[in-house]
């Protein structure tokens, strides 16, 4: 089962821990989780749709949507509660935080109920019992039989997953290499960097069925039930909701719905999905990615610029205690933002601020990147303002213009001209760096390409496509910026 | 007796330990042309810049039109400043705007003059300084003499009561000095009150009402140009005049 540790976001977790503690105790005291879901009329399910046949993106009637056996389980639970199911996509790493911060009501993402995880969230009964297999290149069939055949070789598994831990524990003389996504692992297998990839049996079946060059062998790992079972996770203390969901889960088990209905249905989607794996067929997905990448970049540069102007002015404030405090605050902000990773900032805004106001992922992404970009732009602007001759300010002031007017009409336009190349650089950097928001499930270009990769089982082609697309965007942007730079030249 | 338009009382200015102005007290009457001359480093420019508070005096007061600028709030200083036009050695035209835009900016933003009125007035002023055909040029395409005349027109656009000139011809090629001085002379004849820091002795002789000789942070001598140039009173002035080519 996927059992990835939330290593990357440990910092965010620590920061929000205080709030989380208070929220969870509040929930425990008065559990109105079921009533709240019924009142809102919808049940929000968080999942990471890169894991066929559990959950993956498929084009249904021309529209891309999340399908798979976990979605079927979610639908069943929602239907039994008499509410609508809403599926929210995000990276697997982010799922449990999203649950704790109330971004989603439940998580169904092939998640197994380990004791460590039980400390933070509540699980339903098991709805599916799986097992592990090892995927190998078909040409190696016969060489490898099970986990013990890889002495002196390298096998891969998802970083931090149970597969990863157990592979390390239960093999000897074998190098175990971790990667974040299964598509990358398969790519590593096909390029012979890995000789085998440990993954769940249904996933292995899906990959083998869709890629003629792959084969699967049994893993023969010794596994406990909790390592191979999948459960639905709810926020800690939502006892009434768990009890209600358990009724649905029990029915699923009793009627064997997963094997009888859900898996075959998911297989059908997989088939239609991989009929046409040409990149052109996915132009809509890429276009959507470009659209979001541009929206994020343009909005972030716009708000970042406004913030940058304010910050640079604050950093240059003079006179009085207030000005000193302002200067100190602005400097501290700039230093702090420049000294922490943008990825952590994105997660902090989405999950951390999410405890106070429920912001959609796209908005959170734009806010986080604007806040980040503002710190950098502030430094450019400060340099730009200092580069404008002091005589310009004196001339404007001698004409009776206020400090504000002088700045706005005389100094800033000239500063802008001086820093235009740096600002352009920032803009182009943001086109590329906006990809970070893919971790909170914003469908920008990287996110979309990952979906295409897991849809088509083609590792390299989508990467090549987005490389070209990114280049087209940045090259066009730099042409446009150069055009305006020429327009501003008067001397 | 006419009321002075500018009155300076015990004006002093320090830059760190360096005392640049030492307790200056003088006055300027409406319509007067004052030419401030003296050796470089004597505090002339600092003195001029203290008059419109581009430099904040360390002590003493600057009265403009009966109001002590050093005690007024920023807003009031801004409104009084617009009545004192200033022309700089390096012109300080706004390089990102055309000549016309340079002149129109302050009237439109500070006085809320309409675009049409500001344009009309700008053209009148450009005619006055003989540059109306350059209205749409950018400053970088102008010669030094032309740029300085635009700067004068820009200052005049605020209809100031006093014009301050800070070495207006020092950065110019010699053949362009004349065109700028002519414009200043016309202005003086129209009755504009002017305080001019310059090294142009000819201008001082023919246009000034009073010559202030400034050295070592003091106004050493305040005299008529005739008296000053033919019969300087102080030894410092005699020394200065003997060293310059007349």
Asked if pLDDT for residue A420 goes beyond 60, the answer is: yes
- Neighbouring-strand partners of residue A233: A107, A123
B72 touches chain A (CB under 8 A): no
Residues of chain B with pLDDT under 70: 1, 245-246
Determine whether the interchain pair B105/A391 forms a contact, defined as Cβ–Cβ distance below 8 Å. no
Size of interface A-B (CB pairs under 8 A): 76
Mean pLDDT of the region A286-298: 92
Q: Is A86 left (phi over 0), alpha (psi -120 to 50) or beta?
A: beta
Chain A environment of B75 (Cβ under 8 Å) = 402
Q: How far is B66 from chain A (nearest CA, A)?
A: 18
A409, closest residue in chain B (CA to CA): B105
Q: What is the pLDDT of residue A12?
A: 47
Point out which residues pair with B67 in neighbouring strands.
Answer: B64
Question: How does residue A444 score in pLDDT terms, banded at 50, 70 and 90?
Answer: confident
* A contact test, residue of B88, B95, B148, B155 with most A CBs within 10 A: B95
What phi and psi, each to the nearest 5 degrees, are found at residue A406? -60, -45
Test mutation, A395, A401, A405, A406, chain B, max B CBs within 10 A: A395
| Three-point CA angle A35, A38, A42, nearest 5° | 135
**Quick one: pLDDT at residue A228?**
80
CA nearest neighbour of B204 among B246, B236, B243 = B246
| Beta carbons of B140 and A490 less than 8 Å apart | yes
Return left, alpha or beta for B120; rule: phi > 0 is left, psi -120 to 50 is alpha, else beta: alpha
User: What is the structure's pLDDT at A5?
Assistant: 39
pLDDT > 50? residue A4: no
Q: Is the model more confident about A455 or about A413?
A: A413
Chain B residues with CB-CB distance to A389 below 8 A? 92
Restricting to B residues 155-194, those with a Cβ less than 8 Å away from any Cβ of A are: 155, 158, 164
Residue A14 has pLDDT above 70, yes or no: no
Q: Which residue of B has its CA nearest to A408?
A: B109
Q: Which two tokens stand for residue A321?
A: 């205690």
Measured between beta carbons, the chain A residues lying within 8 angstroms of B140 are 490-491
A399 with B110: Cβ contact below 8 A: yes
User: Helices in A231-358 by DSSP H: which ranges?
Assistant: 239-254, 257, 263-273, 283-315, 320-338, 342-347
Q: What is the ipTM of this complex?
A: 0.92
Q: With an 8 Å Cβ cutoff, are B96 and A414 in contact?
A: yes
Q: Give the lowest-confidence range in A260-264, A288-292, B228-232.
A: A260-264
With beta carbons under 8 A apart, name residues in chain B contacting A390: none
Residue-wise pLDDT tens digits, A18-60: 444 444 444 444 678 888 888 999 999 999 887 878 888 877 7
Distance CA B79, CA A374 (A): 35
Interval A136-171: pLDDT, tens = 999 988 889 888 889 899 999 887 677 888 888 888
Residues in A closer than 8 angstroms to B93, CB to CB, are 395
Interface check B40 vs A, CB under 8 A: no
Q: What is the pLDDT of residue A62?
A: 64
Q: Which residues contact B160 (CB under 8 A, 6 or more apart)?
A: B82, B83, B84, B85
- Give pLDDT, residue A271: 63
Q: For residue A2, name the pLDDT band (cuts at 50, 70, 90).
A: very low
Q: B236 to chain A, minimum CA–CA distance in Å?
A: 32
If one counts every other C-beta atom within 10 angstroms of the C-beta of residue A466, the result is: 22
Q: What percent of chain A has pLDDT over 90?
A: 42
Residue A381 has pLDDT above 90, yes or no: yes
Say yes or no for a CB contact (<8 Å) between A490 and B84: no
At residue A9, the pLDDT reads 44
Dist. CA B36–CA B57, nearest whole Å = 19
Element (H or E) spanning B98, and its range?
none
pLDDT higher at A457 or A310: A310
Q: What is the pLDDT of residues A218-261, one digit of tens each?
A: 888 888 777 788 899 999 989 999 999 999 999 999 998 888 88
The mean of the pLDDT values for chain A is: 85
From B54, B83, B164, residue closest to A397, measured CB to CB: B54
User: Is the predicted pLDDT of residue A6 greater than 50, yes or no?
Assistant: no
Residues of B in contact with A410 (CB under 8 A): 94, 105
Cα angle A358, A364, A367 (rounded to 5 degrees) comes to: 125
> Are the beta carbons of A491 and B138 separated by less than 8 Å?
yes
Residues of A in contact with B158 (CB under 8 A): 399-400
What pLDDT score was predicted for residue A96? 87
Structure confidence at residue B246 (pLDDT): 55
CB-CB: which of A401, A417, A491 is closest to B109? A401
Instruction: Find the residue in A nearest to B98 (Cα).
Output: A490
| Predicted confidence (pLDDT) at residue A128 exceeds the cutoff of 70 | yes
- Distance from the Cα of B83 to chain A's closest Cα (Å) equals 8
Nearest partner of A131 among A150, A112, A118, judged by Cα: A112
| Residue A82 banded pLDDT, cuts 50, 70, 90 | very high
Which positions in chain A have a beta carbon within 8 angstroms of at least one beta carbon in chain B?
A: 389, 391-392, 394-403, 405, 409-410, 413-414, 417, 488, 490-491
Instruction: Identify the structural domains of chain A with CATH numbers, from first to last.
Output: 30-129+231-273 (3.40.190.10), 132-222 (3.40.190.10), 280-488 (1.10.3720.10)
A398 and B52 in contact by Cβ < 8 A? Answer: yes
The pLDDT score that the predictor gives to residue A10 is 46
Percent of chain A with pLDDT over 70: 91
Identify the pLDDT of residue B156. Answer: 96
User: Higher confidence at residue A65 or residue A392?
Assistant: A392
Between residues A29 and A303, which one has the greater pLDDT?
A: A303
Q: Which residue has the tokens 């009545």?
A: B83
Q: Which residues of B touch A392 (CB under 8 A)?
A: 92, 94
**A268 pLDDT tier (thresholds 50, 70, 90):** confident
Confidence at residue B182, expressed as pLDDT on a 0 to 100 scale: 94
């Amino acid at each position: 089962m996927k059992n990835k540790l939330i290593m990357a976001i440990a910092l965010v977790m620590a920061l929000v821990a205080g709030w989380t503690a208070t929220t969870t105790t509040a929930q425990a005291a008065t559990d109105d989780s079921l009533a709240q879901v019924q009142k809102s009329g919808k049940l929000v399910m968080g999942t990471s749709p890169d894991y066929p046949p559990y959950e993956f993106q498929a084009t249904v009637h021309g529209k891309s949507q999340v399908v798979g056996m976990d979605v079927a389980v979610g639908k069943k639970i929602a239907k039994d509660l008499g509410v609508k199911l809403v599926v929210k996509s995000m990276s697997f790493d982010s799922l449990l935080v999203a649950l704790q911060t109330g971004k989603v009501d439940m998580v169904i993402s092939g998640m197994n109920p380990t004791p460590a995880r039980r400390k933070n969230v509540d699980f339903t009964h098991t709805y599916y019992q799986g097992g592990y297999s090892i995927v190998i290149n078909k040409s190696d069939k016969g060489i490898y039989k099970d986990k013990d055949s890889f002495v002196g070789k390298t096998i891969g598994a998802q970083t931090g997953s149970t597969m990863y831990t157990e592979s390390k524990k239960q093999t000897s003389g074998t190098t175990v290499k971790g990667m974040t996504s299964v598509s990358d692992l398969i790519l590593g297998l096909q390029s012979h960097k890995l000789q085998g990839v440990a993954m769940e049996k249904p996933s292995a079946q899906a990959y083998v069925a869709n890629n003629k060059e792959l084969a699967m062998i049994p893993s023969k790992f010794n596994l406990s039930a909790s390592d191979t079972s999948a459960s639905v996770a709810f926020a800690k203390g939502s006892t009434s909701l768990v009890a209600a969901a358990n009724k649905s889960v029990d029915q699923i088990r009793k009627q064997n719905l997963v094997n009888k209905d859900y898996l075959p249905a998911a297989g059908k989607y997989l088939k239609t999905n991989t009929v046409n794996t040409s990149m052109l067929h996915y132009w809509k997905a890429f276009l959507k990615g470009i659209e979001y990448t541009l929206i994020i970049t343009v909005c972030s540069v716009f708000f970042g610029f406004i913030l940058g102007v304010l910050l640079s002015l604050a950093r240059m404030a003079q006179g009085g205690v207030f000005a000193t405090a302002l200067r100190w605050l602005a400097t501290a902000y700039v230093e702090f933002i420049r000294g922490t990773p943008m990825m952590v900032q994105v997660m902090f805004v989405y999950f951390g601020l999410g405890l106070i106001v429920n912001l959609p992922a796209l908005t959170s992404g734009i806010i986080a990147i604007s806040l980040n970009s503002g710190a950098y732009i502030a430094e450019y602007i400060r340099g730009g303002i200092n580069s404008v001759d002091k005589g310009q300010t004196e001339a404007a002031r001698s004409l009776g213009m206020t400090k504000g007017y002088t700045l706005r009409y005389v100094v800033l336009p000239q500063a802008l001209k001086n820093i235009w190349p740096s600002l352009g650089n920032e803009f182009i950097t943001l086109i590329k760096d906006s990809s970070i928001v893919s971790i909170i499930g914003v469908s920008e270009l990287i996110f979309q390409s990952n979906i295409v990769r897991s849809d088509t089982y083609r590792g390299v082609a989508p990467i090549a496509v987005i490389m070209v697309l990114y280049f087209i965007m940045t090259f066009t942007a730099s042409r446009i910026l150069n055009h305006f730079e020429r327009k501003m030249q008067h001397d | 007796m006419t009321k002075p338009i500018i009155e300076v009382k015990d004006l002093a200015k320090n830059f760190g330990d360096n005392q640049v102005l030492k307790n200056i007290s003088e006055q300027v009457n409406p319509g007067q042309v004052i030419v401030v001359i003296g050796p470089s480093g004597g505090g002339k420019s600092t003195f001029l810049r203290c008059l419109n508070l581009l430099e904040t005096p360390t002590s003493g007061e600057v009265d403009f039109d009966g109001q002590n600028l050093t005690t007024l709030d920023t807003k009031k200083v801004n409104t009084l400043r617009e009545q004192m036009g200033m022309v700089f050695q390096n012109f300080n035209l706004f390089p990102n705007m055309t000549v016309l835009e340079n002149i129109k900016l302050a009237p439109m933003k500070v006085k809320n003059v309409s675009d049409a009125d500001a344009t009309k007035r700008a053209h009148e002023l450009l005619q006055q300084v003989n540059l109306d055909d350059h209205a749409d040029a950018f400053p970088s395409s102008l010669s030094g003499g032309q740029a300085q005349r635009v700067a004068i027109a820009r200052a005049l656009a605020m209809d100031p009561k006093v014009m301050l000139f800070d070495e207006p011809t020092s950065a110019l090629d010699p053949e362009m000095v004349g065109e700028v001085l002519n414009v200043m002379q016309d202005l003086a004849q129209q009755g504009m009150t002017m305080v001019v820091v310059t090294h142009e002795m000819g201008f001082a002789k023919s246009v000034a009402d009073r010559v202030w000789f400034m050295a070592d942070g003091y106004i050493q001598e305040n005299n008529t140009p005739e008296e000053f140039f033919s019969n300087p009173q102080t030894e410092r002035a005699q020394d200065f005049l003997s060293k310059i080519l007349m």
